[in-house]
Copies of this chain bind each other. A is one copy, B any other.
Amino acid sequence: MSLQLKVRLLGFASGTPLLVLDDTAAYSLGVRPHDRLLVRRGGSEVIAVVNVAQNLPQDIALVNDEVARALGLENGDVVEVLAVQPPRSSRYVRAFLSGSSLSYEEVRAIVEDIVRNALDEVELAALVTAANQRGLSIEEAYYFSRAMVETGERLDLGVSPVLDKHSIGGVPGDKTTLLVVPIIASLGYYIPKTSSRAITSPAGTADRAEVLMPVNLTLEEVRRIVLKVGGCIAWGGALGLAPADDKIIRVEYPLAIDPFLVPSIIAKKAAVGATHVVMDLPVGRGAKVKTLEEARNLSRILVEVGRRMGIKLACVATLGDQPVGLTAGPALEAREALSALLGEGPADLVDKAASLAGVLLEMVGIASGKAVALEVLRSGKAYLRMREIVEAQGGDPDVKPQDIPVGDKRFTLRAEREGMVIWINNVAVATAARLAGAPKDKGAGVELHVKMGSVVKAGQPLLTVYSEHSAKLQAAEEYLKTTMAVSVGKPEESMVLAHLHYEPLISLEH
């Protein structure tokens, strides 16, 4: 049951070795889409996932770069193809679909096959969907965390403790990390922070930091920089830490579910060797976690899975009802973070950063952690350390907030009536910033002039959109005209809102 097929190169890499053949050839081989073929030439072979086309010559196989590279193929080369059984992990995925729990060995096989692209996207989508329907057990979450770490690169600093901070995200404008890292590093601790780029938000931490310094570091550069200046802010995407995670997210994203959230977070932290982690869970209407109850449940699982992985973890629920600080968008946020390090930050941002840093410091034995954090901010010690980090990563340490360019096309949204700001719509702020060009256009974004609880008069500016292009500014402006981004209530309604003001953080499950 094998065929000799003439190769045509597709000319692109797509992650998984892929072979497209005609319907009739597939029928001869007894394979269907998503089955596997062994593709052979000379002494080399590779397993490819089958795609079926309806209109190819029967003796032609289209192959992507993964197949071509594995076998050194050029157009016109002849390969032998034959059907093979799906990998062991396909069976484990099927068992999971039919209700079985997964053992560590099974999880390990699945994760290995995800990493080497032996599980195809239909199987991966089924795994993710079934995990979403059933929920992962604590054991399974631990097994996935462990297997994800073990199948990827790891950072070994050779020191202890190693501190880290993570936010599950969902709130625009959250540049807290740009303060926490220099605060912690300025106190002599190691914090090798890796961050993501924006997926659906106007800026990820890597996008913000990139305004100040290069963030595409290698693992070796991360190691060298952190050992030298105590901290870094690197883009995690190219470091190869827990690579299965990235592939799982690729399938979770279009389905808008994230059943692997816990292993995904814990694995990334374990892969950098973190021993103490503070985890920010923003809670609020526009955030990922809607209620404190949800945050408590998630916290319990994170702490327990972290414990099994040897990580001491503290979860902190923070107010996620409005953006953090006053800005959303890479350059605007980099400006605001730098201002905060220079003593000019908005109260909520400074409080949040000092609180999270404080929890982390207390975890390693520093009393009054928040006060200590506020002091290194006030004294300029954290700013000086940030200069060293920026310089070590190859940025300009002398850059001032006002030096950072922002978009010169602007639109200001104004209050239609007098009243109190009762809600700021995170999704609307994020969408307006993205329409204006963020995160790709670094200078695009939104600056808020008010926060929840602000009292405004009719005509007073609520927010300004910045863009580098008139057409994008216009798209954001049109969007804001049909969306309630900032809700202004009557003054007499304001009473009930008191408890929504910024409050001390609620710490969960140390």
Contacts and interface: CB of A to CB of B under 8 A. Distances in A.
A277 to B, nearest CB: 27
A62 B250 contact: no
A187 interface: no
B20 A256 contact: no
A126 B123 contact: no
Contacts of A132: 97, 130
A1 interface: yes
Interface in A268-293: none
A1 B472 contact: yes
Given A94-B255, A97-B129, A121-B122, A8 B11 contact: yes
Interface string A1-30: 100000010111111000010000001101
A2 B406 CA distance: 22
Nearest to A32: B253
Contacts of A121: 121-122, 125
A257 B94 CA distance: 8
A440 interface: yes
Contacts of A510: none
A440 B62 CA distance: 23
What number of copies of this chain does the assembly contain? 2
Contact of A65 (B1, B55, B124, B129): B55
A132 B133 CA distance: 10
B133 A125 contact: no
B254 A35 contact: yes
A229 interface: no
Contacts of A34: 250-251, 253-254
Interface in A388-444: 434-435, 440
Nearest to A434: B30
Contact of A255 (B51, B123, B255): B123
A495 interface: no
Residue among A129, A133, A251, A255 with the highest chain B CB neighbour number at 10 A: A129
Interface in A47-88: 51-56, 62, 65, 86
Interface string A116-151: 000011111110111011100000000000000000
Contacts of A20: 12, 14
- Identify which of A28, A55, A253, A254 gathers the most chain B CB atoms within 10 Å of its CB: A254
Contacts of A32: 199, 250, 253-254
A373 to B, nearest CB: 35
Closest 9 CB pairs of A and B: A12-B53, A125-B125, A34-B254, A129-B129, A133-B133, A126-B129, A122-B125, A13-B54, A94-B256
Interface of A: 1, 8, 10-15, 20, 27-28, 30, 32-35, 51-56, 62, 65, 86, 90, 93-94, 97-98, 120-126, 128-130, 132-134, 197, 199, 250-251, 253-257, 434-435, 440, 472, 475
6 contacts: A1-B435, A12-B55, A27-B197, A32-B253, A55-B65, A97-B133
Given A13-B53, A125-B129, A129-B133, 17 more contacts: A1-B472, A10-B62, A11-B62, A12-B53, A14-B51, A32-B253, A33-B250, A34-B251, A35-B254, A90-B254, A93-B255, A97-B257, A122-B122, A122-B124, A122-B251, A126-B126, A130-B133
